[in-house]
Protein backbone atom coordinates (compact mmCIF):
# COMPACT_ATOMS: atom_id res chain seq x y z
CA UNK A 1 0.00 0.00 0.00
CA UNK A 2 1.14 3.55 -0.76
CA UNK A 3 -0.42 6.93 -1.38
CA UNK A 4 -0.89 8.92 -4.57
CA UNK A 5 -1.42 12.60 -5.25
CA UNK A 6 -4.29 13.22 -7.66
CA UNK A 7 -5.36 16.05 -9.95
CA UNK A 8 -6.56 18.41 -7.19
CA UNK A 9 -2.93 19.17 -6.29
CA UNK A 10 -2.19 20.54 -9.75
CA UNK A 11 -1.24 24.22 -9.50
CA UNK A 12 -1.76 24.21 -5.72
CA UNK A 13 1.56 22.87 -4.35
CA UNK A 14 0.67 23.76 -0.75
CA UNK A 15 3.55 21.63 0.66
CA UNK A 16 1.75 20.82 3.93
CA UNK A 17 2.12 17.15 3.02
CA UNK A 18 5.86 17.58 2.56
CA UNK A 19 6.23 19.16 5.99
CA UNK A 20 4.71 16.12 7.74
CA UNK A 21 6.26 13.32 5.68
CA UNK A 22 8.67 11.46 7.98
CA UNK A 23 10.64 9.87 5.13
CA UNK A 24 10.80 12.82 2.69
CA UNK A 25 9.21 10.84 -0.16
CA UNK A 26 7.12 13.64 -1.71
CA UNK A 27 8.82 15.21 -4.71
CA UNK A 28 7.82 18.53 -6.27
CA UNK A 29 7.44 18.79 -10.03
CA UNK A 30 6.46 22.02 -11.75
CA UNK A 31 2.68 22.01 -11.30
CA UNK A 32 2.16 19.03 -8.97
CA UNK A 33 3.83 16.90 -6.31
CA UNK A 34 4.42 13.14 -6.52
CA UNK A 35 4.82 10.46 -3.84
CA UNK A 36 7.58 7.95 -4.52
CA UNK A 37 5.82 4.59 -4.04
CA UNK A 38 9.09 2.82 -3.25
CA UNK A 39 10.06 5.28 -0.51
CA UNK A 40 6.62 5.79 1.08
CA UNK A 41 6.16 3.97 4.41
CA UNK A 42 2.35 4.19 4.27
CA UNK A 43 1.99 6.24 7.44
CA UNK A 44 -0.86 8.38 6.05
CA UNK A 45 0.38 11.62 7.58
CA UNK A 46 0.27 13.36 4.22
CA UNK A 47 -3.32 12.37 3.49
CA UNK A 48 -4.82 14.13 6.52
CA UNK A 49 -2.63 17.19 6.03
CA UNK A 50 -3.57 17.87 2.39
CA UNK A 51 -5.80 20.99 2.27
CA UNK A 52 -7.39 19.98 -1.06
CA UNK A 53 -7.86 16.25 -0.33
CA UNK A 54 -5.68 15.32 -3.30
CA UNK A 55 -3.87 12.48 -1.52
CA UNK A 56 -5.51 9.07 -1.50
CA UNK A 57 -4.44 5.56 -0.59
CA UNK A 58 -3.61 3.38 -3.60
CA UNK A 59 -6.31 0.78 -2.94
CA UNK A 60 -8.93 3.53 -3.26
CA UNK A 61 -7.21 4.95 -6.36
CA UNK A 62 -7.27 1.56 -8.09
CA UNK A 63 -11.08 1.44 -7.84
CA UNK A 64 -11.65 4.89 -9.36
CA UNK A 65 -10.58 5.40 -13.01
CA UNK A 66 -10.04 9.14 -12.47
CA UNK A 67 -7.64 8.39 -9.61
CA UNK A 68 -6.05 5.28 -11.14
CA UNK A 69 -4.54 7.36 -13.92
CA UNK A 70 -2.57 9.26 -11.26
CA UNK A 71 -1.37 6.05 -9.67
CA UNK A 72 0.22 5.02 -12.97
CA UNK A 73 1.42 8.56 -13.62
CA UNK A 74 3.16 8.71 -10.24
CA UNK A 75 5.14 5.58 -11.16
CA UNK A 76 6.08 7.20 -14.48
CA UNK A 77 7.43 10.26 -12.66
CA UNK A 78 10.08 8.05 -11.03
CA UNK A 79 10.47 5.18 -13.51
CA UNK A 80 10.68 6.97 -16.89
CA UNK A 81 12.84 9.89 -18.00
CA UNK A 82 10.97 13.15 -17.53
CA UNK A 83 10.86 15.76 -20.30
CA UNK A 84 14.32 17.28 -20.72
CA UNK A 85 16.06 14.51 -18.77
CA UNK A 86 18.02 11.54 -20.04
CA UNK A 87 17.50 9.15 -17.11
CA UNK A 88 14.65 8.43 -14.70
CA UNK A 89 14.69 9.88 -11.17
CA UNK A 90 14.43 6.40 -9.70
CA UNK A 91 14.59 6.31 -5.91
CA UNK A 92 16.82 9.24 -4.88
CA UNK A 93 16.29 8.56 -1.18
CA UNK A 94 14.65 11.82 -0.25
CA UNK A 95 13.24 14.87 -1.94
CA UNK A 96 14.99 17.41 0.28
CA UNK A 97 18.47 16.64 -0.96
CA UNK A 98 17.27 16.57 -4.58
CA UNK A 99 15.24 19.79 -4.40
CA UNK A 100 12.32 20.68 -6.63
CA UNK A 101 12.42 18.66 -9.83
CA UNK A 102 10.77 21.49 -11.77
CA UNK A 103 9.19 19.30 -14.43
CA UNK A 104 6.09 17.11 -14.56
CA UNK A 105 4.97 14.03 -16.42
CA UNK A 106 3.29 14.68 -19.77
CA UNK A 107 -0.10 13.97 -18.17
CA UNK A 108 0.29 16.93 -15.83
CA UNK A 109 2.33 19.26 -18.02
CA UNK A 110 -0.15 18.95 -20.87
CA UNK A 111 -2.97 19.80 -18.51
CA UNK A 112 -5.53 17.05 -18.16
CA UNK A 113 -7.63 19.48 -16.11
Instruction: Answer whether 0.85 is exceeded by the pTM.
Output: yes
pLDDT in tens, 4-19: 999 999 999 899 999 9
d(CA 109, CA 80): 15
In order of their start, the domains of the chain are 3-97 (3.30.70.20)
Average pLDDT over residues 15-40: 96
Average pLDDT over residues 54-72: 89
Amino acid sequence: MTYVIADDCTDVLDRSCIDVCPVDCIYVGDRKSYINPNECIDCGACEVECPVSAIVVDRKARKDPDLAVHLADSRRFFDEPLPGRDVPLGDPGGAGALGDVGVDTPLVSHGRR
